[in-house]
Structure 1
Amino acid sequence: MVHQLQHCYRMPVVEKIGRRNSIPILYTRGTHYEVGFDVGCTFRGFIHSLLAASQPLNEVFLPLFETEAGQKVYHETLSSVRQNFPQYLKEMEGTADGAQVPFYKLFLLHMDEILPNVLREQPTKTHGTGCSTVCCNNPGEEILGHTEDALSEVLNHVYFVSAHIISDLPQGRWKVTEEKQSVCNLNGPGILLTARHFLTRALLAAENFSQAQEILRDSGCGAGDAVSINMTFLNQEGDRLFHNAEVGPAVGGANESALNIFTASPGEHIFHCNKYLRLQSPEAGGEITTSSDHRHATMSSLPCPYSRGDVINILGDQSDKEYSIFRESGDDDYVKTVAVGIFDCVGRTWSIYTDNPMTNEPVIVLPLQFKPSVK
């Protein structure tokens, strides 16, 4: 039956048509499954195309998934996520049903590097796929800017979902009953780990810094792969604070994620390019580390960011011809910057670019909306 599904759902990969200045947006409301189903139905073409084009999925994850050891890791991870975040699995099931694709392919993508890491296979992210983030914390200029870097096949597959999810009963480990957000679309056998994509999704329901730390620590389980999180809380009292959290996988018998957080107070800034700057944990190494080193060096050579314009100039920089911050030097690049987001915490806006922000206007400027606080 699995082979029949794979054959039935296979679709041709879209032609290379160059970078498009287009971002479709879906507004939806319902249960987790209903929202997922709407996403799958609306973006079915994108989902089919990306599944067909994804080199990590087709060349690494699926072959490992078909082995006995791979099946064991897959089901252990699935069981861990089902125990902690069953609502997100329901959402993914809805997306799979709406898009008419096999659920296990979507889950394998969300597992990311867990299979090759646990099975001691060559990781897929040996190229410089990491993103770049700049936070500027000055009076009237409270800006978080981020490049979304991905494998080249992700280009033109970006979409946004503005969802209002309401549940009759508290859902998951953190007993969430409502989520309202706009979103852009892990170490040895036998250890149950939480895929980082689910931890970062759970962060969207965090009301404060304390809750965010609790989610990232994931006590009793722990992250299965490393991730860097940049965040702020618009409704917090007092001065604006930006936080960079370096999250490491639970290893060596630990049952929670390794965590180190740096906070930028007024007058300070943050540069971060997907490598450990503070956390003492092993890293994959290779080209992704080289890329991060180059991008950090570029950022350090530029003037400190004091304004939105400074943040844009940094994120659009292409002075390093080998590992630029904004990735776009040719059609055959393995990695590209597929989108750039500029979050203005004073103006309460989110500007989204599909091309270099130094030379292009945003495709859309969205309001930063939040659910009302529960008294």
Structure 2
Amino acid sequence: MGSAAGATGELDVFDAGRCCGGYALGVAVGRRFGEVIRSRMSRDLVLRQQLLPFASTAQAEPLLAALRAANSARYPQYWDELVGTADGSGVPLLHIMLVNFRKEILPFIPKEDHDREEEADDDCSDVLVVSESMAIAAHNEDANVALLGHTYVVKATSPDGSSSFTAYTYAGELPSCAFGFNSNGVAFTLDSVPPVHGEIVAGAIARNFVSRDLLEARSLDDAMHRICSPDISVGHSYNLMDVRSRRIVNVETASGNRFAVREAGVAPFFHANMYRHLQIKQVCS
């Protein structure tokens, strides 16, 4: 996976400190990584060849309006953060919206204009093991080639200083649709899953907003609630870790508030890019 690297080749880490609200955090990240964000937007072929052309059509207008309304209503702080990222980086808000909503938009682009198999590489995988001697989540981070050189780490502290998070972040997107952890001992990794078109709800809650909310989780139970309660558009697979209690659970979700939970144990549990325990119609690879 690529990164925003300096002369040493190390992943660029930005500690935003205490920010007074989501917009301020977004502006700080946008300013710090503006060059990287603009570079990603100029080179991302999914954005340039699929999302932007679709966004100019009459079909896209109600879908984008519904996504904006649903996510800004449920997560106003994170919506402000997204707007701040656009303002801070100098990138049009539409472009920032499209990359953050890409998984919720791509299934609705007419097939003659978009080969959905092109997104098949935007996937990850995990092996989870918990025993008396170890508790491990081994994660492989895969993504679209447009993200090579276009990722970074964001650290932030709540305004009152009571909690903080660290998140591996795709340029221009909310932290984090990849993996992250916080000072409450909650960590997570994510795996994509492929529900068929009939399992997807147009204009509902986006996965990037759910994973951003995970960074604020106070406990494992709170993290599970944040995953399972939203009326999501497209399903996802979440690997949740409670560092303090040495617990790891996999949660698969789907539209219609459907979810299934499996706790990791001594036998290694592998999860890649197919549903394993939630009964969902899915695209077979």
1:160 and 1:226 map into 2 onto residues whose CA distance is 25
| Aligned partners of 1:32 and 1:87 also within 8 Å | yes
Distance 1:190 1:158, change over 3 A: closer
Q: 2:31 aligns with which of 25, 28, 41?
A: 41
1:233-280 alpha-carbon deviations (Å, 9 max, x no partner): 1234xxx221111112x2xxx3x2x21111013x23221112111111
Q: Are 2:202 and 2:233, in contact at CA under 8 Å, matched by a contact in 1? A: no
Q: 1:98 is paired with a residue of what secondary structure?
A: helix
Q: Which residue of 2 aligns with 1:58?
A: 48
SS at match of 2:42: helix
User: Distance in 1 between the 2:110 and 2:224 partners?
Assistant: 29
Cα separation, 1, equivalents of 2:130 and 2:211: 23
Structure 1 alignment gaps of length 5 or more: 1-16, 168-176, 290-375
TM-score by length of 1: 0.61
Q: Distance in 1 between matches of 2:279 and 2:44?
A: 32
TM-score relative to the length of structure 2: 0.79
> Are residue 182 (structure 1) and residue 166 (structure 2) matched?
yes
Equivalent-residue separation in structure 2 for 1:194 and 1:179 (angstroms): 25
What's the counterpart of residue 157 of structure 2?
164
Post-superposition Cα deviations, 1:178-207, rounded to whole Å, max 9, x if no partner, equal 651000109789954100111111112122
Which residue in the other structure is 1:151 paired with? 144
**Aligned partners of 1:135 and 1:242 also within 8 Å:** yes
Q: CA deviation at 1:137?
A: 1.6
Residues 1:178 and 1:111: Cα distance change in structure 2 (over 3 Å) = farther
Q: Equivalent of 1:226, from 217, 231, 235?
A: 235
The structure 1 residue matched to 2:250, chosen from 226, 244, 249, is 244
Is the 8 Å Cα contact of residues 78 and 209 (structure 2) preserved in structure 1?
yes
* Equivalent residue number for residue 296 of structure 1: none
Aligned to 2:93: 103
Return the offset for 1:217: 2.1
SS in 2 for 1:34: helix
Q: Distance in 2 between matches of 1:75 and 1:101?
A: 19
Q: Does structure 2 conserve the Cα–Cα contact (< 8 Å) formed by 1:23 and 1:160? A: yes
**Residue identity opposite 2:250 in structure 1:** N
- Cα deviations across residues 125-150 of structure 1 (Å, max 9, x unaligned)? 44333101112223342221211101
Cα distance between partner residues in 1 of 2:142 and 2:159: 32
Which residue number in structure 1 is paired with residue 187 of structure 2?
Answer: none
Structure 2 Cα separation of the partners of residues 125 and 228 of structure 1: 20
SS in 2 for 1:160: strand
- Matched residue of 1:242: which SS? strand
How many angstroms apart in 1 are the aligned matches of 2:103 and 2:135?
Answer: 34
Unaligned runs of 5+ in 2: 170-194
